[in-house]
Structure 1
Amino acid sequence: MKKNLLLITFLCLSAFSFSQRKSELIAQIDNLRTELDSLGQQLAEAKREISSSTAKAETLEAENVGLRDANATLLKNLGNFSELSKQNTKNVNSAMSALAQKEKQLSGINDMISANDSTAIVSLTRIKQTLGENAKVNVSEGIIVISNSVKGLFGSDTGSEFTEEGKAWLSNVAKVIMANPNFTTEIEGLNITGEFGPTFDQVAAVAKELVGTLNVPSDKLDLSAKDGNFREGINIKLQPDYRAFYAQAKNSVKIAQ
């Protein structure tokens, strides 16, 4: 009887102990589940943060790539702009140099033209002193024009023999031509009838008198007969030697280059 009682007591104690341990295990399991749920939430939160951080990192990387590309493009454009600026500066300097060269050339030609005009004006004073104050002398576009009427030279419109007055006038004209060796001379006959034959004969007579009697070099004279447009007479035109002028201008251009 005692043995049965002890056995029952032992079994009861064992059952109670097992029950207690089971309760503890269940409690531990519940705690572990609670902790597991908490860890699961923390893991989920961490995953969300990681995902968000990854997305931000990818966005920043994309922006960084864009910025690098934009920076590279900007640097390239700056380089191109610098080269273009250098080229433009070079072109401007070249154009300015060419302009200065042209201005120098034109300045030399203008100086020669001014010198010819000045020479004509100075010569005009000397010519008037030679021919007399009443002589018909003027300057037009750098050309000195000495004029006389046909009647004053030949006594009539169609005459070819010089009057004494005409011979004296031609003698002074010859002095003017000889005193201005840098000028060329044109003997111009003006006609209002349209019959240039007699006019040219008169021009030739003037040339013959200047060359044959008054010793003017024949290579200094050019002859012409023209429509006088309601004017007639003989003009002696003294003008710069344009061939020499052009040669001098051409040489001036070469020197300026």
Structure 2
Amino acid sequence: MKKKLPLILFLMIATSAFSQRKSELFAEIDTLKTKISKVEQELAKAKREISSSTAEAEALKAQNASLRDANATLLSNMSNFSELSKQNSDNVDRAMEALARKERQLSGINDMISANDSTAIVSLTQIKKTLGENAKVGVEAGVIIISNSMNSLFGSDTATELTEEGKTWLAGIANVIKTNPNFKAEVEGLNITGEYGPTYDQVAAVASALVTTLEVPAESIAISAKDGNFKEGINIRLQPDYKAFYAKAKESTKVGQ
């Protein structure tokens, strides 16, 4: 029995040590399981964060691509707008240049019209001096009108032979026409009866005297007969040479261009 006691004690001690060791192993296993669980949780969390970051990265990538496209479109639109703005500016410049040319043309024509009006006014003064202050002379729309009656020129409404008074008056008219070569003369007969034959003969007699006797150039004289609207007589109408005026106006428009 004494020989077995040490063996029993050894076995008891060994058993106790083994039991303690086993408990420690179980404790370590539990600890490791806890750590593994914690690691798995952290790993799952990391995976979720990585997935979220990947999704955000993809979204940012898509947004970046969209922004690049929008920026390219904006740059293209800005380029088109700049080109359109330049074209509009060029159009405005051309329009202003055209307007300036038109203003110069109109200014030249207005100057010529003013010159004609001034010439008419000056000529009116000279004509009154030539024909006398009692002469019936006026200006209408830039046309100088010198009037006389049928009785004074022919002695009656139907006669066609000039009186001495009429010849003297026509001599003054001839002088006026010759000293104003820039004007065209028209012998106008006014009739109140509607019978234009006698009036036309009287007009022709006046024109003939001016050309054949008083040596007024035939190309400077025109004749007409019309309804006098309750007025009867002979008018000598002196007006600008419109053909020459339009030629000058045309030349003025060329210079203004």
TM-score range with shorter-chain normalisation?
over 0.9
Which secondary structure does the structure 2 equivalent of 1:193 belong to?
A: coil
Shift of 1:11: 4.0
Q: Aligned partners of 2:67 and 2:121: how far apart in 1?
A: 77
Q: How does 1:171-182 map to 2 (within 5 A)?
A: 171-182=171-182
Match of 1:128 in 2: 128
Once the two structures are superposed, the pairs formed by residues 33-72 of structure 1 within 5 Å of their partners are 33-72=33-72
1:1-257, aligned counterparts within 5 Å? 5=5, 7-257=7-257
Deviation for aligned residue 1:64: 2.9
Deviation of the 1:3 alpha carbon: 6.2
Q: CA deviation at 1:7?
A: 4.8
Residue 100 of structure 1 aligns to a residue whose secondary structure is: helix
Task: Give the Å deviation of 1:2.
Answer: 6.2
Q: CA deviation at 1:243?
A: 0.8
Deviations 1:82-126 (A, max 9, x none): 212111111111100000001001111111111111111100000
Write the deviation string for residues 141-193 of structure 1: whole angstroms up to 9, x where unpaired: 11111110111100111011111111110010010011111111111111111
Cα distance per residue 1:186-234 (max 9 Å; x no partner): 1111111111111000000001111111111111111111111111110
Q: Separation in 1 of the partners of 2:114 and 2:36? A: 112
Q: How far did residue 56 of structure 1 move?
A: 3.1
SS of corresponding position for 2:158: coil
Unmatched 5+ stretches in structure 1: none
Shift of 1:248: 1.0
Structure 2 unaligned blocks of 5 or more: none
User: CA RMSD of the aligned region, Å?
Assistant: 1.7
Q: Secondary structure at the match of 2:157?
A: coil
1:144 & 1:165 partners in 2: Cα distance?
22
Distance 2:154 2:2 in 1: 195
Mapped partners of 1:89, 1:218: distance in 2:
57
Partner of 2:188, secondary structure, is strand
How far apart in 2 are the matches of 1:157 and 1:106? 47
Q: Summarize deviations over 1:55-90 as a string: whole Å, max 9, x none.
A: 333333333333333333322222222212111111
Letter in 1 for 2:224: S
Comparing 158-167 with 42-51, greater Cα deviation is found at 42-51
Partner Cα separation in structure 2 for residue 254 and residue 168 of structure 1: 46
Whole-angstrom CA distance in 2 between matches of 1:76 and 1:93: 26
Partners of 2:3 and 2:120 in 1: CA distance: 169
Shift of 1:10: 4.4
Q: Distance in 2 between matches of 1:235 and 1:105?
A: 35
Q: Name the CA distance, whole Å, in 2 between partners of 1:149 and 1:79.
A: 80
What is the distance in 1 between the residues matched to 2:145 and 2:204?
A: 18
Q: Output the TM-score relative to the length of structure 1.
A: 0.93
2:85 corresponds to which letter in structure 1? S
CA distance in 2, matches of 1:133, 1:58: 106
**Separation (CA, whole Å) in 2 of partners of 1:152 and 1:6:** 187
Aligned partners of 1:218, 1:145: CA distance in 2, in Å?
Answer: 19
Secondary structure of the residue aligned to 1:194 is coil
How many correspondences in the alignment? 257
- Within 1, Cα distance between the matches of 2:70 and 2:58? 18
